[in-house]
Amino acid sequence: MKDSVYVWVLAATMALVTVTIMSVMNFPFNWIFYCTVLGQALIVLMVYKVLTDNYTTNKTFNDFYEDHPIGNRVN
């Protein structure tokens, strides 16, 4: 993934962490509600950006996990 996608992931995460902090600190309901709606919109935008990212790889399902391919398994 490109670095620009990580910005959207960070923005969505920070918005929803802010909602959690605001709810614990007893902020007014309307602030929490609007931040929740903003966070949900950011999640939809983040998913769209991640799925439409121009990312290619030479890995296949036969490679299994990237850090421990099946073909290189050590017993």
List the structure tokens of 38: 């903003």
pLDDT at 5 over 70: yes
Q: Is there a domain that residue 67 lies in?
A: no
Q: Is there a domain that residue 33 lies in?
A: yes
Q: Is there a domain that residue 75 lies in?
A: no
User: Residue 42 contacts by C-beta under 8 Å, 6 or more apart in sequence?
Assistant: 8, 11, 12, 15
Q: Is there a domain that residue 34 lies in?
A: yes
Q: What is the pLDDT of residues 33-54, one digit of tens each?
A: 999 999 999 999 999 988 888 8
Q: Is there a domain that residue 40 lies in?
A: yes
More confident position, 3 or 44: 44
CB distance 11 to 46 below 8 Å: yes
Q: Is there a domain that residue 41 lies in?
A: yes
**How many domains are there within the chain?**
1
Domain span holding position 36:
3-53
Q: What is the pTM of this model?
A: 0.68
Q: Is there a domain that residue 74 lies in?
A: no
User: Among the ranges 46-50, 55-59, 60-64, 71-75, which has the highest mean pLDDT value?
Assistant: 46-50
